[in-house]
Amino acid sequence: MEEQTDLTIRKAGPIGIFDSGYGGLTVLTEIRALMPEYDYIYLGDNARAPYGNRSYERVYQFTLEAVRWFFRKGCHLVILACNTASAKALRTIQQVNLPKIDPEKRVLGVIRPTVESVASLSQSNHIGILGTEGTIRSGSYELEICKLFPDIAVTGESCPMWVPLVENREYDKPGADYFVQQHLDRLFEKDPLIDTIILGCTHYPLLMNKIIQYVPKNVKIISQGKYVAESLRDYLQRHPEMNRNCTKQGSIHYFTTDSTEKFKQQASFFLNEQVEALQTDLEQK
């Protein structure tokens, strides 16, 4: 049975930002920089991260649990600040679950806004996508780019070690160079004409200092946070009814499914500030 929310009483609530772990904090930072007046709840499913190598069924199940959790917290709008969840779960949640749970709630992802804003930046019309195995295998970036820019050649490279490097705070250590160079070499072997690379995983901006060392100077490397933030602002301007459903006190609350102490330590590297988090369970009691 799908849970139903009461459609007659609409109480405004915070905007939900979801990631399997800490990567979504790179998107949250950009969203808050652009729209500091809104209230936000960030949830990291750290106990079950990484999602990158998991099956469709698992990523869909975990993401749907997270979306329901946000709705119980009073959110009307949830951003999947995770490419893997956007690639594997977003469409089904939008098309199958939301109409039953509450057709007026919205769940948005990060792939479409990234593609809309950045695909046209390429001069050579050859774009590289770096992402988790799940994101690359799903072909979601190719599909979205093909719909909007059919002349662009897209080449993907999955980088399964990169999320663990970031989650374990090895992203700026010498050992990270080996894995960073390996995948960039492979990407350019597949298509030497690439002049624009999309970091199609919200964890990867933390590896930026390493990545720039292994790509030709003329290549643009795109982190998606800024584009996702701009797209969210446009969305709220175009949807005043949703905007009214979002509270605006400038607050942020962090939740994790794992240890709050670990979240506090790790999150400070993504946010450059100390934050407190609450532990939560995604299953409905």
Q: Give the residues lining the site for ligand DGL (CB under 6 A).
A: 19-21, 23, 49-52, 82-84, 132, 135, 163, 201-203
Nearer to ligand DGL, 116 or 133 (CB): 133
Nearer to ligand DGL, 245 or 256 (CB): 256
Whether 82 is catalytic: yes
- Report, in Å, the least distance between residue 142 CB and ligand DGL: 16
User: What single DSSP character describes residue 205?
Assistant: G
Q: Helices H, strands E: what count in the chain?
A: 14, 10
- Report, in Å, the least distance between residue 191 CB and ligand DGL: 22
- Report, in Å, the least distance between residue 10 CB and ligand DGL: 31
Integer Rg of the chain from CA: 18
How far apart are the C-alpha atoms of 6 and 101, rounded to whole Å?
A: 10
Nearer to ligand DGL, 14 or 225 (CB): 225
- Report, in Å, the least distance between residue 18 CB and ligand DGL: 10
Residue in 42, 32, 24, 16 with CA at minimum distance from that of residue 203? 24
- Structure tokens given for 110: 């990060």
Residue type at 60 in one-letter notation? Y
Q: Are the beta carbons of 3 and 51 closer than 8 angstroms?
A: no
- Report, in Å, the least distance between residue 202 CB and ligand DGL: 4
Rounded to a whole number of angstroms, the distance between the first and last alpha carbons of the chain is: 15
Nearer to ligand DGL, 13 or 131 (CB): 131
How far apart are the C-alpha atoms of 140 and 113, rounded to whole Å?
A: 12
- Structure tokens given for 60: 């869909």
Nearer to ligand DGL, 46 or 122 (CB): 46
The active-site residue, picked from 75, 82, 159, 246, is 82
The active-site residue, picked from 75, 159, 201, 246, is 201
User: What single DSSP character describes residue 218?
Assistant: T
Strand order in the sheet with 15-19: 106-108, 77-80, 15-19, 40-44, 252-256, 277-279
Local structure of 278: helix, strand or coil:
strand
* Active site members: 82, 201
